[in-house]
Structure formats: structure tokens, C-alpha cells
Structure 1
Amino acid sequence: MGTTAYIFISISAVSLVSFAGIAAFSMREEMMKKMLFILVGLAAGTLIGDAVIHLIPEALEKIGDERAFGLALLTGVVVFFILEKYLRWHHAHHGAEEEHEMEEALHHPKHLAPMVLLADSIHNLLDGAVIAAGFLISPIVGFATVVAVFLHEIPQEIADYALLVHSGFSRTKALFFNFLSALTAFLGAGFLLLLSSSFELIGAFAGAFTAGAFIYIAATDLIPELHKTRGVMRGAIELGAFIVGIALMLLLTFLEV
């Protein structure tokens, strides 16, 4: 199976995460919160693990220029900082911030729903490019990146679905538009594949960019959420999930040939 096939099959699988919201709504609230924190821990571990174990070493080796590599990585950090600052997407919604957004959804439904869909569309566009970048580096890096993206998409898609429902969308309509926004990932992947045909190192530079983005998301969005919880047992479970995420990325290195 070729690289392009791997990319588009993987994106198709990740796009199905947009249906996670309907499953979450069928769960009891307390159970959903517990599951979300475990998923956030797993996502944080896989994002950092993929960045440090797979993306950074592979991209640095292929680029060969430490300064160029560093600039590409920093670009990933800066771009995702700007996107989060101005598009207001967040990978985990809890506490006062979530309550504020839900209240805004109830009072300004026509204003919030398009913003949620715009942010999610751009987010998924970048996810598609990120997955393509991983496979352009190597199949193992590609699969590791798919796992990382998949896990951090689950809480994101649940939050987006909830915001759309609270902003006035029916559950069916929210599910449909959430899935529609997920399809922009194919555009991101297609664009990067087009660039790769004329720029041989685009995969390596995109990999460095992705590493910066993953570290930023884990460090500023996901790990702070884990620090908000109280209780020794709950903290131990979240720490365990975080370590399992890293271990999963490490395990994938043994599959490299």
C-alpha cells in the first residue's frame, strides 16, 4: 500500500471521531468527566511522545540543518498559539471556561456556532496536513502521529458537539456539521502532498512544525487540565494514562524496520 493510501485511510478513520459527541451524550455526566480526563492524559502523553520520540529525531536527521529545524519547530508553536488565541479552540473544556462558553452559546447561538465550525474546520485542516507529514517521513512516524491525533481529537470533538447543541443545533444537525468540518482534513493532506511533489523536504519541515504544535498543545492545553483535578487516586490514574501514552509511542519504535 502506498503512502497516499495510508494517509487518506488514516484520515478517514480519524474523521469518524466527530461522532464521539453522540456517544458522550448517552453517558452519565460523572462517567463522561472521568473518561475525558483519562483521554486527556493519554492524548498529552501521545502528543509529547510522538514529538520527542518520532518527529524531532526524524525531521532533524532529514533536514540536516539544526537552525532550520529549530525555526520550523518554533513556527509550529507560534502558529498554534495564534490559532488558539484568535479562534478560541481548546482541546479540553472544563470548569469556568466551559461554563462561560455554554452561557455564551445560549445567549448568542447564531454568533458562536459559526465560530466553533470555523475553528474546527481549520483545526482539522491542520490535522490532515500533520498526518500527511508523518507518513511522508516514514510509515511508523505516520502511524504514531495518527494515534496522537486520534486521541487528542476525542475530547475536542465532544466539546465542539456539546457547544453546537447548546447553541441551538439539533443533535442530528450538530453531528452532521461536526462531521462535515472533519472532512477538511482531506484538503490539508492533499495540499501537503501537492507541495511534496515539488519540494522534497516538505515532509521533514512539516514534521518539525508538527512537533512544535504537539508540544504546544500538550503543554498549554492538556497538561494544565490535568493539574486542575483533585484527589490522589484520580491524579494517579491521570498520571498512568499520561505514561501509557508515552509508552505507546515508544512501543511503536520497535516496529520500525
Structure 2
Amino acid sequence: MLASLAGGLLSVLAAASLAVAAGPRAVPRLLSYAVGALLGAAFLELLPHAVEASGDAELTCALILGGVLLFFLLEKLLLWRFGHGHAHHGHGDGGRSGMLVMLGDTFHNFVDGVLIATAFSQDLSLGLITAAAIIAHEIPQELGDFAVLIHSGLSRGRALVFNLFSSLAMGAGALLAHWALPAVDGAVPVLLALACASMLYVAAADLMPGLRQRTHLAATAEQVVLIGAGVVSIGVAHHLAEHVLM
């Protein structure tokens, strides 16, 4: 429990510190980075683990497809609930992309807690190494999530609180896995697929359309570089987790 809670809190605080240090003018650039981080986390981290956990690539792809459609319906419901009859003006998107990415991140954090608990059940040193690996790959992803929340219209303080609450799911996953590991373990492929679907949907449906509005060559080149940086940061963190820390 302590390792899971510490891992979640440390990754969120580190990401928030980086985002705050960058300043409000850097939010458009952080959004480009967030697209890369979300796509990198989906394709390099969650999708391979979901396929490995389920043992069935076709089933995993079907779950992700269903998840994308589910998040589309959820966004429609959010539009109806919070925007019906009211045009949205000003900064942000009414909080929709922030809510969706937080939902997906909560699934992901819960699964990370299950993984930490499983590792500790095998060996203390393996548990500590696994917790360190999870912190390493969570920081760039949490940085992207923080940028999405700010883009959704949240203040930096509220974005930090939302991320901290989402990180508590890691402790919940560890606690539940400790008492009911077989039952929780069976749900891991579905949770990973839903987390992957959430990140794909937010990146492609909510963030990329906004990036297309900046059509100048210099802005486009900057966006491509920052999206690439987001993908690379997830890839580097994944490499560290798989080949160095583990």
C-alpha cells in the first residue's frame, strides 16, 4: 500500500512541478507533448501489456474498439449534461477531455496498483523495483494529463487535486489485489484495454483537432517535434522500466 501510494503521489507531484515551471504560456506546447505522451502510453505501454494479459490480440483490439465507442458516448452524455442549450465560450472544452483522460488514468493507476501488489507478493525486492519502474513511466504520462486538464479549463491547483485523487486508485488496486488477487487479475486485460481506449480517444478526438487550427509551417513543425518528444519520453521510460529497473 505504501509503495503504491508513494508511487502515485511522487509521479503526480513531479509532473505537476514540471508543468508549473513551464508557465501558462507553455500550455499550447504542453498539449502537443500531451498528444505524444498519450499516444505513446497507449501504443507502447498499455496495448502490449493488454495483449500479454489477455493472451488474445483479437479480443484486446475488440475491447479497445468498444472502449473508443464507449468514450464517444460518454462525451456525448457530458455534452448533453453540461452543455445542452449553452454555447461554450472561452478557454477549454468544458472539461470533457479532462474528465475522459482522468477516467482512463484511473483505470491505469488501478492496474499499476495490482501489479505492485503482485510483485510484492512474490518478493520484497521485486516489489520495490516494480514500484520504481512504475514511477519512471508514470511521470511523462502524468505531465501530459496535467496539460489536458489545464486545457479543459481547470486551474493548476484543481488539476493537481484531480491528478492526486486519480493516483489514489493505485493504492485501491494494491489493496484489492492483496485480498482478492485472482478476481482482480482476471479484470486486468479489460481495464488495460479501457485505459488504452481512453488515451487514444482523447488524443485523436479532443486534442488533435485543436492542434490543426495552427496551420503555419513553423507551428506545425514545432507540434511534430513536441508530439515526437512525448512519444519518445514514454518510450525511454518504458525502456528503463523493462531493461534497467527490472
Q: Above 0.5 in TM-score?
A: yes
| Percent of aligned positions that are identical | 21
- Name which of 150, 153, 158 aligns with 1:157: 150
Alignment CA distance shift 1:131-1:71 (3 Å):
same
Tell me, yes or no, if the aligned pair for 1:46 and 1:246 is still in contact at 8 Å: yes
Tell me, yes or no, if the aligned pair for 2:37 and 2:230 is still in contact at 8 Å: yes
2:65 partner SS: helix
Tell me, yes or no, if the aligned pair for 2:107 and 2:194 is still in contact at 8 Å: no
Alignment CA distance shift 1:79-1:186 (3 Å):
same
Partners of 2:66 and 2:134 lie apart in 1 by: 20
**Alpha-carbon offset, residue 78 of structure 1:** 2.4
Q: CA RMSD in A?
A: 3.7
Partners of 2:21 and 2:29 lie apart in 1 by: 16
Tell me, yes or no, if the aligned pair for 2:110 and 2:170 is still in contact at 8 Å: yes
Q: Deviations over 1:58-95 (max 9, x none)?
A: 21022112343123212331232223222249xxxxxx
Alignment CA distance shift 1:199-1:181 (3 Å):
closer
1:101 partner SS: coil
**Alpha-carbon offset, residue 20 of structure 1:** 9.5
Report the TM-score, using the length of structure 1 for normalisation: 0.65
**Alpha-carbon offset, residue 21 of structure 1:** 9.7
Partners of 2:18 and 2:159 lie apart in 1 by: 10
Tell me, yes or no, if the aligned pair for 2:36 and 2:230 is still in contact at 8 Å: yes
Tell me, yes or no, if the aligned pair for 1:133 and 1:204 is still in contact at 8 Å: no
- Name which of 166, 181, 186 aligns with 1:185: 166
Q: Which runs of 5+ in 1 are unaligned?
A: 90-98, 104-114, 163-173
Partners of 1:190 and 1:214 lie apart in 2 by: 21
1:12 equivalenced with 2:5 (yes/no): no
Q: Deviations over 1:119-152 (max 9, x none)?
A: 9678645523322324545844674355223313
Report the TM-score, using the length of structure 2 for normalisation: 0.68
Task: Tell me the matched-pair count.
Answer: 214
Tell me, yes or no, if the aligned pair for 1:125 and 1:188 is still in contact at 8 Å: no
- Name which of 57, 78, 91 aligns with 2:69: 78
2:28 partner SS: helix
| Map of 1:100 onto structure 2 | 88
Equivalent residues in 2 for 1:21-60, closer than 5 Å: 32=25, 35-60=26-51
More displaced, 15-24 or 52-61? 15-24
Partners of 1:212 and 1:20 lie apart in 2 by: 26
| Map of 1:237 onto structure 2 | 222
Alignment CA distance shift 1:57-1:227 (3 Å):
same
Tell me, yes or no, if the aligned pair for 1:134 and 1:142 is still in contact at 8 Å: no
Alignment CA distance shift 1:128-1:182 (3 Å):
same
Alignment CA distance shift 1:127-1:149 (3 Å):
same
Q: Which runs of 5+ in 2 are unaligned?
A: 81-86, 117-129
Tell me, yes or no, if the aligned pair for 1:160 and 1:178 is still in contact at 8 Å: no
1:229 partner SS: coil
